[in-house]
Amino acid sequence: MEIYKQIWDKIEKAENIMLIAHINPDGDALGSSLSLYPILKKMGKKVTVFNATKPLPDYLDFLPNFNKVTDKLPKKIDLTISLDCGSFDRLGLDEKPSFLINIDHHVSNTNYGDINLIEPNHASTSQVIYDILKANNIEIPTDTAVCIYTALITDTGSFQYESVNDKVFECAAEMVRCGVKPDYVAKMLFQRDRLSRLRLLAKAYETIEMCCDGKVAFVEVTKEMMEITGAIKEDTDTIVNSVRAIAPVEIACMLREDDEGIKISLRSKNYADVSKIAVKYGGGGHIRAAGATLKGEFNFEKVKNMLKEDLAKEVKNNK
């Protein structure tokens, strides 16, 4: 509780505030950054919402004040608030700001701020913001609520993950009371798909290979598939999730060719720790979602054979 007040006190005393999230932002990163924008503006602050990534993912373009996000740093900043970012190097900043408040929910957060509020049991960073606003009796405008709610949806896979509990639904319900229309957010997020993405899915699904009694599934995306279908990198984002959804699958593994080498994306369903495997290959992530890039290696078969051993060991660990 004390830290919530401390954070708000810092905000009240600052004049020029920068809100910043991790590069390659997702719904929680942008939603959390933009959620505070209308509130700070109303308080009379000069507010910059910064993100180093360009272009921003357009499926999030319905978030209120999306067009305020800039990749240009302001001249004057008294206070920087980083949101949903586990480490300083993912902010896209060259130097440390004068005063930094670090608000996040990643277990792996490195506490790089002057004030650090890390809530690993929260489903999204936006849920942490909700707690801060509530603790300080701040009225939540609809524009803020849309951002908090969207971040909650995207970071929980539409309320499907292990992080979902009663508090998550309470937060969502409160956002609806603040004016969010859940069907509108759902339509914006899930009913604006690209044909190129569906065409790519069709090609990728043909490559699915099951092994380890169906507990492991591989899926491949080649450069050629991307070219033929006109798909963009963003179109590959959820392929591995839908492969995990096959009934017996515990670990889904996507191999994707890109300029650097082969990108490996790993997802697990119930018990397997895929972050361990990702770390072994120089990557990282969470227990249920992780990835790595194998540089200069372009042979899918070789990579698969190498991974198979690790994956087989990991799925065997279940009783």
| Residues of this chain that bind Mn ion (CB under 5 A) | 28, 84, 125, 155
Query: Looking at beta carbons only, is 84 or 143 nearer to Mn ion?
Result: 84
Please report how close the Cβ of residue 43 comes to Mn ion at its closest, in angstroms: 25
- Nearest Cα residue to 30 out of 126, 133, 143, 140: 126
* Rounded to 5°, angle at Cα 191 from 83 and 49: 25
Please report how close the Cβ of residue 130 comes to Mn ion at its closest, in angstroms: 13
Contact present, 57 and 197 (Cβ < 8 Å): no
Please report how close the Cβ of residue 95 comes to Mn ion at its closest, in angstroms: 25
- Nearest Cα residue to 104 out of 89, 126, 88: 126
User: Which residues share a beta bridge with 16?
Assistant: 46
Please report how close the Cβ of residue 266 comes to Mn ion at its closest, in angstroms: 18
Query: Looking at beta carbons only, is 51 or 125 nearer to Mn ion?
Result: 125
The residue sitting closest to Mn ion, measured at its beta carbon, is: 28
- Nearest Cα residue to 103 out of 122, 92, 124, 118: 118
Query: Looking at beta carbons only, is 36 or 255 nearer to Mn ion?
Result: 36
Query: Looking at beta carbons only, is 215 or 288 nearer to Mn ion?
Result: 288
Query: Looking at beta carbons only, is 155 or 235 nearer to Mn ion?
Result: 155
Q: What φ, ψ does residue 241 adopt, rounded to 5°? A: -65, -40
Residue 16 DSSP SS3: strand
Please report how close the Cβ of residue 125 comes to Mn ion at its closest, in angstroms: 5
